[in-house]
Amino acid sequence: MDAYELITTRRSTRRYLSRPVDPTSLSLVIDAGRYAPSGGNNQSTHLIVIQNHMVLQELAEMVKIEFSKMEVSDGMYTSLASAIRASKGEKYVFHYDAPVLIVTANRIGYGNNIADCACVLENMMIMANALNLGSCWINQLRWLNDNPLILDYMHHLGMLDEEKVYGALAIGYPDTADGMPVRTPLERKGNIVTMI
């Protein structure tokens, strides 16, 4: 694929095979993320790459429980409201049971923390697409990044005291009919352009 195709065919994949991601591919994806630009070249994004199935299951269970304690309120961000509603159902797995979850943490109070993490995540999504791996941006751990239980768990996984989660990415082999990532053309409804 040329650069334009590579970038514009990237969509979210939400069904994954349980098969682990080949280490060489995973390492290319992680590296692509590490080469993202950062404010003042700070490079302070911390990538916590979780492949351990028990850890992923434990985290998924905690996220479900913590969301299920929350209530949807007026004006709440739609995706967060959907997560809270879904968490009260029988099955809710925030990371779509992907075999890999890469959590991006960054320094609390650093002005570029969210933007830097987003660039790391975007690079990894494009690299995943190039390798025919599916990926999906995961916001749940960011929405819970003030939750004491989730914070404790992330610290236990190696997140530093001065860090918080500002995004995450599910990655894996797509569980689709043709085994390819979702690449249906994005319906253009926004991201409008004003030319001056």
User: Which position among 21, 36, 138, 151 is part of the footprint of a copy of itself (CB under 8 A)?
Assistant: 36
| CB of 61 closer than 8 Å to CB of 167 | no
Instruction: Name the β-bridge partners of 102.
Output: 49, 169
85-124 residues in contact with a copy of itself (CB under 8 A) are 110-112, 114-123
Cα–Cα distance for residue pair 57/54, rounded to 1 Å: 5
Contact call for residue 190 and a copy of itself (CB under 8 A): yes
| Nearer CB in complex with a copy of itself: 4/177 | 4
Length of the chain: 196
Residue 79 to residue 14: CA distance in whole angstroms:
15
* Of the candidates 113, 112, 92, the residue with the CA atom closest to the CA atom of residue 166: 113
With CB under 8 A as the contact rule, the residue among 73, 74, 90, 193 that binds a copy of itself is 193
In the complex, least distance from residue 91 CB atom to a copy of itself, rounded to whole angstroms: 21
Binding-site member from 6, 65, 72, 108 for a copy of itself (CB under 8 A): 6
Q: Per CB under 8 A, which of residues 37..56 are in contact with a copy of itself?
A: 37-40, 42-52, 55
Q: Check binding of 66 to a copy of itself (CB under 8 A).
A: no
- Nearest to a copy of itself of 90, 156 (CB atom): 156
Query: What tokens were used for 133?
Result: 């791996």
Q: How far apart are CA 79 and CA 135, in angstroms?
A: 17
Q: Are 173 and 179 in contact (CB under 8 A)?
A: yes
Smallest separation, CB 112 to a copy of itself (Å): 7
- Does position 35 interact with a copy of itself (CB under 8 A)? The reply is yes
